Structure 1
Amino acid sequence: YRGYGCTDSTYAYLSKSLSSVLFLTISNLMFLPAIILATYRHLYIEALIYFFNMFFSTFYHACDQDINKLCIFKYDGLQLSDFIGSYASFVITLITMAIIPRSIKAFLFMLGVLTCIVINSRDRFDHLQFICLISITFIFTILTWVS
Protein backbone atom coordinates (compact mmCIF):
# COMPACT_ATOMS: atom_id res chain seq x y z
CA TYR A 1 0.00 0.00 0.00
CA ARG A 2 1.12 3.50 -0.76
CA GLY A 3 0.00 7.04 -0.17
CA TYR A 4 -0.48 9.24 2.89
CA GLY A 5 -3.19 7.09 4.41
CA CYS A 6 -1.93 3.81 2.89
CA THR A 7 -5.05 3.67 0.72
CA ASP A 8 -3.45 3.10 -2.69
CA SER A 9 -3.62 -0.67 -3.24
CA THR A 10 -2.12 -0.61 -6.76
CA TYR A 11 0.97 -2.57 -5.69
CA ALA A 12 -0.59 -4.58 -2.84
CA TYR A 13 -0.21 -8.36 -2.75
CA LEU A 14 -2.21 -10.71 -0.55
CA SER A 15 0.83 -12.68 0.63
CA LYS A 16 2.70 -9.53 1.64
CA SER A 17 -0.45 -8.11 3.22
CA LEU A 18 -0.98 -11.19 5.39
CA SER A 19 2.64 -11.34 6.52
CA SER A 20 2.69 -7.63 7.36
CA VAL A 21 -0.52 -7.97 9.39
CA LEU A 22 0.88 -10.93 11.29
CA PHE A 23 4.11 -9.06 11.98
CA LEU A 24 2.30 -5.92 13.14
CA THR A 25 -0.08 -7.81 15.41
CA ILE A 26 2.35 -10.37 16.83
CA SER A 27 5.06 -7.74 17.41
CA ASN A 28 2.78 -6.18 20.01
CA LEU A 29 3.56 -9.16 22.24
CA MET A 30 6.87 -7.40 22.91
CA PHE A 31 4.92 -5.26 25.36
CA LEU A 32 4.48 -8.31 27.62
CA PRO A 33 7.95 -8.03 29.26
CA ALA A 34 7.30 -4.34 30.01
CA ILE A 35 3.85 -5.15 31.42
CA ILE A 36 5.23 -7.98 33.57
CA LEU A 37 8.16 -5.88 34.84
CA ALA A 38 5.91 -2.90 35.62
CA THR A 39 3.49 -5.16 37.49
CA TYR A 40 6.34 -6.84 39.38
CA ARG A 41 7.59 -3.41 40.49
CA HIS A 42 4.05 -2.34 41.49
CA LEU A 43 3.90 0.27 38.70
CA TYR A 44 0.27 -0.51 37.89
CA ILE A 45 -0.50 2.70 35.98
CA GLU A 46 2.43 2.04 33.66
CA ALA A 47 1.40 -1.60 33.20
CA LEU A 48 -2.14 -0.49 32.36
CA ILE A 49 -0.93 2.01 29.74
CA TYR A 50 1.36 -0.59 28.14
CA PHE A 51 -1.47 -3.15 28.07
CA PHE A 52 -3.83 -0.55 26.58
CA ASN A 53 -1.25 0.19 23.89
CA MET A 54 -0.64 -3.49 23.13
CA PHE A 55 -4.35 -4.36 23.00
CA PHE A 56 -5.53 -1.52 20.78
CA SER A 57 -2.48 -1.59 18.51
CA THR A 58 -3.05 -5.30 17.88
CA PHE A 59 -6.72 -4.87 16.98
CA TYR A 60 -6.11 -1.66 15.02
CA HIS A 61 -3.63 -3.42 12.74
CA ALA A 62 -5.87 -6.50 12.50
CA CYS A 63 -8.74 -4.23 11.41
CA ASP A 64 -6.59 -2.18 9.03
CA GLN A 65 -6.92 -4.66 6.14
CA ASP A 66 -9.01 -5.08 3.03
CA ILE A 67 -9.07 -8.86 3.41
CA ASN A 68 -9.48 -10.83 6.67
CA LYS A 69 -10.53 -7.89 8.83
CA LEU A 70 -10.89 -8.39 12.55
CA CYS A 71 -12.57 -5.29 13.97
CA ILE A 72 -13.82 -5.24 17.55
CA PHE A 73 -15.38 -1.80 16.96
CA LYS A 74 -15.23 1.11 14.52
CA TYR A 75 -11.94 1.55 12.69
CA ASP A 76 -11.65 5.24 13.62
CA GLY A 77 -12.03 4.40 17.30
CA LEU A 78 -9.36 1.72 17.06
CA GLN A 79 -7.02 4.11 15.28
CA LEU A 80 -7.56 6.85 17.86
CA SER A 81 -7.02 4.40 20.73
CA ASP A 82 -3.85 3.05 19.11
CA PHE A 83 -2.39 6.52 18.63
CA ILE A 84 -3.31 7.65 22.16
CA GLY A 85 -1.85 4.47 23.62
CA SER A 86 1.38 4.87 21.66
CA TYR A 87 1.85 8.52 22.62
CA ALA A 88 0.89 7.85 26.23
CA SER A 89 3.40 4.99 26.49
CA PHE A 90 6.23 7.36 25.59
CA VAL A 91 5.04 10.04 28.01
CA ILE A 92 4.40 7.62 30.88
CA THR A 93 7.80 5.95 30.45
CA LEU A 94 9.64 9.28 30.51
CA ILE A 95 7.69 10.51 33.55
CA THR A 96 8.36 7.21 35.35
CA MET A 97 12.09 7.74 34.83
CA ALA A 98 11.93 11.22 36.40
CA ILE A 99 13.21 11.57 39.96
CA ILE A 100 10.15 13.10 41.63
CA PRO A 101 7.67 11.93 44.29
CA ARG A 102 5.10 9.34 43.19
CA SER A 103 2.18 11.70 43.96
CA ILE A 104 3.54 14.27 41.50
CA LYS A 105 4.10 11.50 38.95
CA ALA A 106 0.43 10.52 39.22
CA PHE A 107 -0.57 14.11 38.46
CA LEU A 108 1.84 14.27 35.51
CA PHE A 109 0.57 10.90 34.23
CA MET A 110 -2.95 12.30 34.03
CA LEU A 111 -1.71 15.54 32.48
CA GLY A 112 0.29 13.57 29.93
CA VAL A 113 -2.56 11.21 29.01
CA LEU A 114 -5.06 14.07 28.72
CA THR A 115 -2.58 15.97 26.54
CA CYS A 116 -2.23 12.88 24.33
CA ILE A 117 -6.02 12.73 23.97
CA VAL A 118 -6.23 16.41 23.01
CA ILE A 119 -3.34 16.11 20.54
CA ASN A 120 -4.87 13.07 18.88
CA SER A 121 -8.34 14.58 18.77
CA ARG A 122 -6.98 17.70 17.10
CA ASP A 123 -4.92 15.95 14.40
CA ARG A 124 -3.52 12.48 14.97
CA PHE A 125 -1.24 12.67 11.92
CA ASP A 126 0.58 15.86 13.01
CA HIS A 127 3.91 14.50 14.19
CA LEU A 128 5.26 17.92 15.17
CA GLN A 129 2.93 18.21 18.15
CA PHE A 130 3.92 14.70 19.28
CA ILE A 131 7.61 15.58 18.96
CA CYS A 132 7.03 18.74 21.02
CA LEU A 133 5.23 16.78 23.76
CA ILE A 134 7.95 14.12 23.94
CA SER A 135 10.71 16.77 23.87
CA ILE A 136 9.16 18.69 26.77
CA THR A 137 8.70 15.48 28.75
CA PHE A 138 12.25 14.34 27.96
CA ILE A 139 13.77 17.70 29.00
CA PHE A 140 11.72 17.63 32.22
CA THR A 141 13.01 14.13 33.02
CA ILE A 142 16.63 15.12 32.34
CA LEU A 143 16.24 18.20 34.56
CA THR A 144 15.04 16.01 37.44
CA TRP A 145 18.18 13.91 37.09
CA VAL A 146 20.48 16.94 37.07
CA SER A 147 18.99 18.74 40.05
Structure 2
Amino acid sequence: IVGVPLALPLAVVVFITAFIPIVGATAAGILAALVALVALGPVPALIVVGIVVLVNQLEGNLLQPVLMGKTLKLHGLVILIGLTAGTVLAGITGAIISVPLLAAAWGAIQVWDGPDQPARPWRQKREETAEAR
Protein backbone atom coordinates (compact mmCIF):
# COMPACT_ATOMS: atom_id res chain seq x y z
CA ILE A 1 0.00 0.00 0.00
CA VAL A 2 2.80 2.41 0.92
CA GLY A 3 5.01 1.29 -1.96
CA VAL A 4 7.81 -0.25 0.09
CA PRO A 5 10.15 -2.30 -2.12
CA LEU A 6 10.67 -5.99 -1.36
CA ALA A 7 7.12 -6.29 -0.06
CA LEU A 8 6.85 -10.04 -0.75
CA PRO A 9 10.12 -10.99 1.04
CA LEU A 10 9.13 -8.70 3.94
CA ALA A 11 5.74 -10.42 4.11
CA VAL A 12 7.48 -13.81 4.32
CA VAL A 13 9.77 -12.53 7.10
CA VAL A 14 6.76 -11.12 8.98
CA PHE A 15 4.92 -14.45 8.60
CA ILE A 16 7.86 -16.47 9.91
CA THR A 17 8.76 -14.14 12.78
CA ALA A 18 5.12 -13.91 13.89
CA PHE A 19 5.57 -17.41 15.34
CA ILE A 20 8.17 -16.11 17.79
CA PRO A 21 6.26 -15.04 20.90
CA ILE A 22 6.49 -11.47 22.24
CA VAL A 23 9.33 -10.16 20.03
CA GLY A 24 8.71 -11.68 16.60
CA ALA A 25 6.15 -9.25 15.23
CA THR A 26 8.02 -6.27 16.68
CA ALA A 27 11.31 -7.36 15.07
CA ALA A 28 9.60 -7.81 11.70
CA GLY A 29 7.96 -4.39 12.04
CA ILE A 30 11.32 -2.77 12.77
CA LEU A 31 12.79 -4.44 9.70
CA ALA A 32 9.91 -3.25 7.49
CA ALA A 33 10.21 0.29 8.86
CA LEU A 34 13.96 0.33 8.22
CA VAL A 35 13.47 -0.83 4.62
CA ALA A 36 10.83 1.89 4.12
CA LEU A 37 13.11 4.49 5.68
CA VAL A 38 16.08 3.63 3.48
CA ALA A 39 14.07 3.23 0.27
CA LEU A 40 11.39 5.94 0.56
CA GLY A 41 12.28 8.31 3.39
CA PRO A 42 10.91 9.19 6.82
CA VAL A 43 7.21 9.82 6.01
CA PRO A 44 6.54 6.37 4.46
CA ALA A 45 8.60 4.81 7.27
CA LEU A 46 6.35 6.50 9.85
CA ILE A 47 3.30 5.22 7.98
CA VAL A 48 4.75 1.69 8.11
CA VAL A 49 5.45 2.09 11.84
CA GLY A 50 1.85 3.24 12.36
CA ILE A 51 0.50 0.25 10.45
CA VAL A 52 2.74 -2.15 12.39
CA VAL A 53 1.69 -0.67 15.74
CA LEU A 54 -2.00 -0.79 14.76
CA VAL A 55 -1.80 -4.42 13.63
CA ASN A 56 0.16 -5.46 16.73
CA GLN A 57 -2.34 -3.73 19.03
CA LEU A 58 -5.33 -5.28 17.27
CA GLU A 59 -3.75 -8.71 17.41
CA GLY A 60 -2.51 -8.47 20.97
CA ASN A 61 -5.48 -6.70 22.56
CA LEU A 62 -8.43 -7.95 20.52
CA LEU A 63 -7.82 -11.10 18.52
CA GLN A 64 -5.58 -12.93 20.96
CA PRO A 65 -7.84 -12.53 24.02
CA VAL A 66 -10.94 -13.49 22.04
CA LEU A 67 -9.38 -16.56 20.43
CA MET A 68 -7.49 -17.59 23.55
CA GLY A 69 -10.62 -17.06 25.62
CA LYS A 70 -12.60 -19.45 23.42
CA THR A 71 -9.82 -22.01 23.52
CA LEU A 72 -9.31 -21.81 27.29
CA LYS A 73 -12.99 -21.16 28.04
CA LEU A 74 -12.11 -17.87 29.74
CA HIS A 75 -13.73 -14.52 29.01
CA GLY A 76 -11.59 -12.12 26.96
CA LEU A 77 -11.81 -9.48 29.69
CA VAL A 78 -10.41 -11.95 32.23
CA ILE A 79 -7.47 -12.61 29.92
CA LEU A 80 -6.86 -8.88 29.40
CA ILE A 81 -6.98 -8.21 33.15
CA GLY A 82 -4.67 -11.16 33.77
CA LEU A 83 -2.21 -9.95 31.12
CA THR A 84 -2.29 -6.45 32.58
CA ALA A 85 -1.80 -7.69 36.14
CA GLY A 86 0.99 -10.05 35.09
CA THR A 87 2.77 -7.28 33.19
CA VAL A 88 2.47 -4.79 36.05
CA LEU A 89 3.59 -7.29 38.68
CA ALA A 90 6.38 -9.10 36.82
CA GLY A 91 7.05 -7.36 33.52
CA ILE A 92 7.55 -9.44 30.36
CA THR A 93 7.85 -12.66 32.38
CA GLY A 94 4.53 -11.94 34.07
CA ALA A 95 2.87 -11.26 30.71
CA ILE A 96 4.14 -14.58 29.37
CA ILE A 97 3.04 -16.74 32.31
CA SER A 98 -0.14 -14.92 33.41
CA VAL A 99 -2.61 -16.56 31.01
CA PRO A 100 -1.38 -20.14 31.56
CA LEU A 101 -1.59 -19.53 35.32
CA LEU A 102 -5.12 -18.16 34.93
CA ALA A 103 -6.15 -21.19 32.85
CA ALA A 104 -4.68 -23.61 35.39
CA ALA A 105 -6.35 -21.80 38.29
CA TRP A 106 -9.71 -21.76 36.50
CA GLY A 107 -9.41 -25.48 35.72
CA ALA A 108 -8.69 -26.22 39.38
CA ILE A 109 -11.61 -24.06 40.53
CA GLN A 110 -14.00 -25.78 38.12
CA VAL A 111 -13.31 -29.28 39.45
CA TRP A 112 -12.84 -28.53 43.14
CA ASP A 113 -15.88 -29.53 45.20
CA GLY A 114 -14.43 -29.10 48.65
CA PRO A 115 -12.24 -30.98 51.10
CA ASP A 116 -14.69 -33.87 51.68
CA GLN A 117 -15.39 -34.84 48.08
CA PRO A 118 -13.09 -35.73 45.21
CA ALA A 119 -13.07 -33.52 42.15
CA ARG A 120 -15.87 -34.05 39.62
CA PRO A 121 -13.84 -35.88 36.94
CA TRP A 122 -12.45 -38.33 39.52
CA ARG A 123 -15.89 -38.85 41.04
CA GLN A 124 -17.36 -39.56 37.58
CA LYS A 125 -14.60 -42.03 36.77
CA ARG A 126 -15.11 -43.76 40.13
CA GLU A 127 -18.87 -44.03 39.43
CA GLU A 128 -18.25 -45.41 35.93
CA THR A 129 -15.92 -48.11 37.23
CA ALA A 130 -18.39 -48.99 40.01
CA GLU A 131 -21.17 -49.40 37.42
CA ALA A 132 -18.96 -51.60 35.26
CA ARG A 133 -18.44 -54.06 38.14
For the pair shown, the structure with the greater C-alpha radius of gyration is 2
Relative contact order: is structure 1 or structure 2 higher (C-alpha 8 Å, sep ≥ 6)? 1
Q: Which structure shows the higher helix fraction?
A: 2
